[in-house]
Amino acid sequence: MYCDFAGNCRKSNRPTEQQGKPMKAMLLKKISSVAGNREPLEVVDIPDPVPVDGEILVRVTVCGVCHTELDEIEGRTAPPRLPVVPGHQVVGTVATKGPKSGRFSIGDRVGIPWIHSACGECPWCRSGRENLCPGFRATGRDVNGGYAEYMTVREAFAHPIPSVFTDAEAAPLLCAGAVGYRSLKLTGVADGQSLGLTGFGASGHLVMMTAKHLYPRTRVFVFARSSEERRFARELGADWTGKTDAEPPEKLDSIIDTTPAWKPVVEALKNLKPAGRLVINAIRKEEADKDCLLRLDYSTHLWMEKEVKSVANVTRSDVGEFLALAAEIPVRPEVQEYPLEEANRALLELKERKIRGAKVLRIRQPSP
């Protein structure tokens, strides 16, 4: 018997070998600065979740660490209620199924992305743009996520994981990869045109691998403030690298911004060709360098029909299409693993831009 945060008690729904054991999770209880607090998430034992109609219970193996978790913890995209378990790049196996759930079998390996559910009835959902749904609910923000041993999800919003990937490789594909893929589509770039990437973390390195496959004649230019990120980009095949404010050898057709800052936006606009497009792949921007927007000059940054487009969330089709494409290439994410209990260290390193590829929490070893 377990009792939830509200004091509601019920029988455990776990597999037999787990019954009687509380679930370990990293819990966010209050909004705070990651740099100031350094341990914003607390290791706790909480009740295991129970799947309802149409849901599955997932035994989590790994969960990717995303900059969006920093936005949640620091309040830029605050959870609607606290406490909450973060994490939205979740890979695990189906432990049990709720009533009316028949898509997956017990033991199937599945992934859970940022999109946890949408209403399915609004004009946005009916037109295939469920990422814009007013009822969009995000994994790890609006509902408990994958920084835990178990979580539930509607089976219609879970994805089978291609066998070519390990659990750790698959995790960043579910957000960093999928939203990067959506960003790449939104650029409208054609083979042979030039593509810029500002920032080179989890999403940036997956976008470049994908772009190099889809558009073999396209030259990729990487702007990153960290020399380590620029070196990593060259290792993966970047045609040119430079600092955030560097001037590339040519103006670019499209640029994808994957940073949490404003300065790269202004610099990217300066480096676009006429009719070029900047796609901003960020759920929120930090306020630290917002004053740089005051230096935005119409003739330098916006004239000549330049475009700015934001990326809002992902759809299920984005995730499904990208997983299939990534398996075909195949994309091999660079991954740094941390135990679940070291989630705070991984988040602090992300905040401090100590990045090479993607960071992934290891919740448990996969079953033999």
CATH of the domain at 338: 3.90.180.10
DSSP-assigned letter for residue 235: H
What is d(CA 162, CA 323) in angstroms, rounded to the nearest whole number?
A: 7
Query: Do 117 and 264 lie in a common domain?
Result: no
Query: Do 182 and 115 lie in a common domain?
Result: no
Report residue 319: phi and psi, to 5°. Answer: -65, -50
Q: Are 245 and 267 in contact (CB under 8 A)?
A: yes
Query: Do 91 and 189 lie in a common domain?
Result: no
Q: Are 115 and 316 in contact (CB under 8 A)?
A: yes
What is d(CA 198, CA 179) in angstroms, rounded to the nearest whole number?
A: 15
Query: Do 129 and 261 lie in a common domain?
Result: no
Interstrand relation of 272-280 and 307-310 (parallel, antiparallel or unpaired): parallel
Per the domain annotation, does 367 fall within a domain? no
Query: Do 165 and 268 lie in a common domain?
Result: no
Q: Which domain holds residue 92?
A: 2-172+314-362
Query: Do 287 and 327 lie in a common domain?
Result: no
Per-residue model confidence (pLDDT) at position 367: 53
Query: Do 306 and 319 lie in a common domain?
Result: no
Taking only the tens of pLDDT, the chain with its 368 residues reads: 343 443 334 444 555 444 446 899 999 999 999 988 889 999 999 998 999 999 999 999 999 999 999 999 999 999 999 999 999 999 999 999 999 999 999 999 999 999 999 999 999 999 999 999 999 999 999 999 999 999 999 999 999 999 999 999 999 999 999 999 999 999 999 999 999 999 999 999 999 999 999 999 999 999 999 999 999 999 999 999 999 999 999 999 999 999 999 999 999 999 999 999 999 999 889 888 888 888 888 999 999 999 999 999 999 999 999 999 999 999 999 999 999 999 999 999 999 989 899 999 999 766 55
Cα 309-311-314 angle, rounded to 5 deg? 150
Query: Do 57 and 168 lie in a common domain?
Result: yes
Per the domain annotation, does 368 fall within a domain? no
Query: Do 23 and 118 lie in a common domain?
Result: yes
Residue type, 254: S
* pTM: predicted TM-score of the whole model, two decimal places: 0.90
Query: Do 153 and 218 lie in a common domain?
Result: no
Per-residue model confidence (pLDDT) at position 294: 83
If one counts every other C-beta atom within 10 angstroms of the C-beta of residue 130, the result is: 24
Per the domain annotation, does 53 fall within a domain? yes
